[in-house]
Structure 1
Amino acid sequence: MELLMVKANSLKLNLLLNIIKTSLAILFPLITYPYVTRVLLPEGLGKIEFVNSLVSYFIVIAGFGIPVYGLREVSKYRNDRDLLSKKVHELFILNTIATVVVFSVYIILVLFSEKLFLQKELCFILGLSIIFTTFGMDWVYQGFEDYLFITIRNFIFQVLSLVLLFLLVKSSDDYLIYAGLLVLSPIGSSIINFFLLGKYIDFKIFNNYQIIYHIKNVLIIFVTLLMGTLLLKLEAVLLGLFLGYADVGIYSVANKLINMIVGVIAMVGMTFLPTIIHHVNKNDEKYVQLLLNKSINFVIFITIPMIIGLFCLSDEIIYLLAGDSFSASVLPFKIMLLIIIFNAVSVVYGNQVFLAYHQERKSLFILMIAGLIGIVLNFILIPLFNVSGAALAVTFSSFIAVLLQYFFAMKYAPINILTIQNLKSIIMSLFMGIIILVSKHLLSPWSPIILVIIPVGVVVYFSGMAFLKDDFTSEILSIMKKKISDYRQKK
């Protein structure tokens, strides 16, 4: 019993730190994006998003699946420093070889592609991320669940980037400076990570490095990640090739908002992963099942009201974050909102279940099917519906992916989605949506309407969930009462 309490407290702390970290990852873009979109406009923003999407492919290829595979290996061997050090050395050597090859190919592509050569300075600046992501080895810190360090480090670089943005980026001609600020955080974080690794591993040379062994094991994870990135970034690349930078800019605003939310869910989901892997290896199936059910219920508890609220306020949100120049982003944003719930469920099935139970082949198969469907749909829908066609393609391919994941994952973890708790979330989210629409009608056309309606929506949802005696809301209220009680006793 005491051991379970320690596990629960540790998981709660990691979850809290990850929520803080991901909240900051949302907060800073919310502060900077309205400024960036109004300064760079669709054309300037489109250039950066087009090149950045291309660079994302090269980062994944250079990573060779090691960020995910390495996290799993560190979670397994973190109690044996000597063996862990050898494993990390092997993975770093493999990662370095892949990075050198991939970065060389990237440079050749930029030099010989007319479209990319015209943006060679931008390609070089953003391409630095390919190199420095390798040296960051964030997967070591995640494997040790050192989320306090990761949270503080990210916060420092986010503040620095924020200050420099407002000081240095003044017009659409400053898009190269903005690109430099985008890579500042990953480069700085990677350098700090590398020099602090001695806390967890030794730098002595070992005999018989087994690099080939890891290549065989990491290959499926690598191709899976590549297909996942293809799903996320394909539309921006194709829009840049078929239409123009302005269309990429329009799409990127909608995509940016969706990805910020999806990123929060993914990071929260990764908080559970080391613990799930650890207990799967101990054959503690009861505790694993408890965690997986809690995980799926939590993401539904958060994502359903999020989707309803964002749909009702989509016009106001796009205007607030991007201005009149990006009004065409509203429709693709509404279409892509469904991706939030698809990815939330996918985090549990694709990341937690398949990785923990070593079922990467199934994950790869699913993403390949979804990726192929996405490619075909993009070539059909973009010429017909432009930016909205890209939004439809990525949304439908995400739906296919999560549907297949659900089908295959049930064999290993029969997670129950159709619960009373999740039904409560749906009912209260719909009620919240009605309140938001009525409030909009009463307050319109007052410009800061969103600043009033969002808190109203949050209060309505959580109050309703508390009235329905929802498990998560009850737990949150219990923690708050305890904190208040402890504070009063200290006084």
Structure 2
Amino acid sequence: MERKGTKVNFLYNMVYQVALMILPLITMPYVSRVLGAEGIGTYSYTYSIAQYFLLFGMLGVENYGNRSIARVRDDEQKRSAVFSSIYTLQFIIASISVIVYVLYIAMFSGNKLYAFLQVFYVLSGVFDINWLFFGMEDFKLTVTRKVLVKIINVVLIFAFVKTSADLWKYLLVLSLGYFIAQSSMWLFASKYIKFHFTRINEAFKHFKDILILFIPLVATSIYRMMDKVMLGNFSTMQQVGFYENSEKLINVCLCVISAFGAVMMPRMSNLYARSKYDECRDLFVRSMEIAIFIGCAITFGISSIANDFIPIFYGTGYDACVSITIMLSATVLFITWACIVRTLYLIPTEKNKVYIYSVFLGAGVNVIINWALIPRLASVGAAVGTIIAEVTVAVYQTIMVRKELDVSQCMKKSVPFIIFGSIMFLVVKILPFEVGGNIGRLIAKIFIGAMVYLALSAIYFLKTKNKLFYDVIGKLMKI
């Protein structure tokens, strides 16, 4: 079957990730002012709990299904059989998760209305088959559907969310929109597979392998979402709101890294399946260089403008987000490094133990630090826990794969971008930028900082005769 090239798939995924970046930048200032930190915190707290149930409902199907489909994508009969058996298992587990979530709302939830409105997130796990399209390296369908739904969400938020009393409308728009985006992919599934529910014993043959991938997802979720759950229990919803807004800024910027990893993982899985190890190692080093180039721009860029950006973007009452955002920006490089190791090596080669141990180690560190610091430092304590957890994961994974991958080469290629990022940071912080008031000063800092970083990087690419750089320049010259 003819497939899109990696560059085309990356472009499609970049469109989606750019939408993930731009659309929140449109809604976040408005929502923060209308709902306030406490409203944002309530949403974040209930959403985090719903995400745990969705996580258990999906088990480890997304990565496992992606990888499994990629391996048989050239054989329609095998592809249909693999999809049918995996989805049958997903349907059973996800349905159980929905039932348990409803019971949780009835028996334990203190925010029953808001928790109930999040049920669509959990229900989406019953219908989510994006992994089929990822495995087929067909990103066009997933991108167009999701972007369309998110644009509609933006319109609905501005149309119906007017005061803090409209928090329930905000939750409903987001959760229902997510459900529609996921379930609508079934309209196109017949293009690739002929689906039928399989026998339970046939479906559960995947359970062990899926569970292996699910275990690290649980651990990862502990220090991705437990911060807000623990903040909600040990502190206030306002502190959850501060942390949510700070973390969201970082996550918006990390969308580019996520796009890159999502696009490259099926290709790496396919190369490993065909035993093309030299190509895999070369692709890994080149991918890491690209990712670190982006990661350094994010880390040093955010930390240099946070003091100016937060008050303008979120408005009054969010001063606490400045220090939290600067702290969390330090995690970007470590998240980037670990993301590339995970998606381009550990998952494609089924190095499950390394993956599992690393995230459990990071999760354990995160929970311990949160337990010790959140009661005293609130959201700042949660940020400290996240930083140390991300460092722990990246360091452990690096140590464990150092013999199989050219880690020293990756580190060597990272140093120039760290230096360029540091120079950008100093330029932005030292120069006065006394132009056009607060907004004018912020725009000037972003522009000058970006020019400094890109110019230094371009000179470096020219000096080292970087193939990627020349490819990009060549394509731009043809436009």
Give the TM-score, by structure 1 length: 0.92
Match of 1:243 in 2: 235
Match of 1:279 in 2: 271
**Residues 165, 207 of structure 1: alpha-carbon distance in 2 compared, 3 angstrom cutoff:** closer
Aligned partner of 1:47 among 37, 42, 50: 42
Aligned partner of 2:219 among 199, 210, 227: 227
Which residues of 2 match residues 273-312 of structure 1 at below 5 A?
273-312=265-304
Give the Cα separation in 1 of the matches to 2:176 and 2:432: 40
Instruction: Say whether residues 1:79 and 2:74 are aligned partners.
Output: yes
Match of 1:144 in 2: 136
Give the Cα separation in 1 of the matches to 2:405 and 2:139: 27
Aligned partner of 1:106 among 85, 90, 101: 101
- 8 Å contact 2:86–2:206 — kept in the other structure? yes
Aligned partner of 2:334 among 334, 342, 361: 342
**Residues 249, 472 of structure 1: alpha-carbon distance in 2 compared, 3 angstrom cutoff:** farther
Match of 2:384 in 1: 392
Letter in 2 for 1:327: D
User: What is the CA deviation profile of residues 23-61 of structure 1, one whole-angstrom value per residue up to 9, with x for unaligned ones?
Assistant: 111110011101110100011111100001111111111
Match of 2:420 in 1: 428
**Residues 473, 412 of structure 1: alpha-carbon distance in 2 compared, 3 angstrom cutoff:** closer
Instruction: Say whether residues 1:199 and 2:199 are aligned partners.
Output: no
- 8 Å contact 1:33–1:322 — kept in the other structure? yes
SS at match of 2:319: helix
365-374 or 386-395, larger mean C-alpha shift:
365-374
**Residues 154, 476 of structure 1: alpha-carbon distance in 2 compared, 3 angstrom cutoff:** farther
Instruction: Say whether residues 1:404 and 2:399 are aligned partners.
Output: no
Instruction: Say whether residues 1:455 and 2:450 are aligned partners.
Output: no
Give the Cα separation in 2 of the matches to 1:340 and 1:402: 11
Long gaps (5+) in structure 2: none
Give the Cα separation in 1 of the matches to 2:443 and 2:159: 27
Give the Cα separation in 2 of the matches to 1:177 and 1:159: 16
- 8 Å contact 2:121–2:175 — kept in the other structure? yes
- 8 Å contact 1:46–1:250 — kept in the other structure? yes
User: What is the CA deviation profile of residues 126-150 of structure 1, one whole-angstrom value per residue up to 9, with x for unaligned ones?
Assistant: 1211111331210001111111222
**Residues 17, 255 of structure 1: alpha-carbon distance in 2 compared, 3 angstrom cutoff:** same
User: What is the CA deviation profile of residues 442-482 of structure 1, one whole-angstrom value per residue up to 9, with x for unaligned ones?
Assistant: 44853332222212211111112222335698744653454
Give the Cα separation in 1 of the matches to 2:465 and 2:311: 33
- 8 Å contact 2:312–2:439 — kept in the other structure? no
Give the Cα separation in 2 of the matches to 1:478 and 1:406: 30
Q: How many residues align?
A: 477
**Residues 417, 445 of structure 1: alpha-carbon distance in 2 compared, 3 angstrom cutoff:** farther
**Residues 259, 479 of structure 1: alpha-carbon distance in 2 compared, 3 angstrom cutoff:** closer
SS at match of 1:170: coil
Give the Cα separation in 1 of the matches to 2:393 and 2:418: 22
Give the Cα separation in 2 of the matches to 1:481 and 1:281: 32
Please state how far the C-alpha of 1:305 moved relative to its aligned partner. 2.3
Which residues of 2 match residues 169-180 of structure 1 at below 5 A?
169-180=161-172
Instruction: Say whether residues 1:37 and 2:32 are aligned partners.
Output: yes
Please state how far the C-alpha of 1:212 moved relative to its aligned partner. 2.5
**Residues 205, 378 of structure 1: alpha-carbon distance in 2 compared, 3 angstrom cutoff:** closer
User: What is the CA deviation profile of residues 233-268 of structure 1, one whole-angstrom value per residue up to 9, with x for unaligned ones?
Assistant: 111001111112111111111111122223331221
Please state how far the C-alpha of 1:441 moved relative to its aligned partner. 5.0
Letter in 1 for 2:154: L
121-130 or 259-268, larger mean C-alpha shift:
259-268
Aligned partner of 2:472 among 440, 463, 479: 479
- 8 Å contact 1:462–1:473 — kept in the other structure? no
Task: Give identity over the alignment, percent.
Answer: 22
Give the Cα separation in 1 of the matches to 2:197 and 2:299: 51
Letter in 2 for 1:30: L
- 8 Å contact 1:86–1:209 — kept in the other structure? no
Please state how far the C-alpha of 1:68 moved relative to its aligned partner. 0.7
Give the Cα separation in 2 of the matches to 1:356 and 1:120: 41
Aligned partner of 1:378 among 367, 370, 373: 370
Match of 2:405 in 1: 413
Give the Cα separation in 2 of the matches to 1:380 and 1:193: 44
Aligned partner of 1:368 among 360, 380, 385: 360
- 8 Å contact 2:421–2:453 — kept in the other structure? yes
Please state how far the C-alpha of 1:361 moved relative to its aligned partner. 2.0
- 8 Å contact 1:136–1:191 — kept in the other structure? yes
**Residues 434, 474 of structure 1: alpha-carbon distance in 2 compared, 3 angstrom cutoff:** farther
SS at match of 2:224: helix
Please state how far the C-alpha of 1:308 moved relative to its aligned partner. 1.0
- 8 Å contact 2:461–2:469 — kept in the other structure? no
Give the Cα separation in 2 of the matches to 1:280 and 1:315: 45
Give the Cα separation in 1 of the matches to 2:414 and 2:216: 30
Aligned partner of 1:351 among 343, 350, 359: 343
Please state how far the C-alpha of 1:439 moved relative to its aligned partner. 3.6
Give the TM-score, by structure 2 length: 0.94
- 8 Å contact 1:367–1:401 — kept in the other structure? yes
Please state how far the C-alpha of 1:423 moved relative to its aligned partner. 2.5
- CA RMSD, 1 decimal: 2.1
**Residues 212, 104 of structure 1: alpha-carbon distance in 2 compared, 3 angstrom cutoff:** same
Please state how far the C-alpha of 1:383 moved relative to its aligned partner. 1.5
- 8 Å contact 1:46–1:248 — kept in the other structure? yes
Long gaps (5+) in structure 1: 1-5
310-319 or 435-444, larger mean C-alpha shift:
435-444
- 8 Å contact 1:18–1:151 — kept in the other structure? yes
Letter in 1 for 2:80: S
SS at match of 2:438: coil
Please state how far the C-alpha of 1:398 moved relative to its aligned partner. 1.2
Give the Cα separation in 2 of the matches to 1:327 and 1:417: 41
SS at match of 1:101: helix
Give the Cα separation in 2 of the matches to 1:472 and 1:55: 49
User: What is the CA deviation profile of residues 178-230 of structure 1, one whole-angstrom value per residue up to 9, with x for unaligned ones?
Assistant: 11121233212223201210001003566796222201111110111111111
Match of 2:6 in 1: 11
Give the Cα separation in 1 of the matches to 2:24 and 2:83: 33
Give the Cα separation in 1 of the matches to 2:151 and 2:404: 43
**Residues 472, 246 of structure 1: alpha-carbon distance in 2 compared, 3 angstrom cutoff:** farther
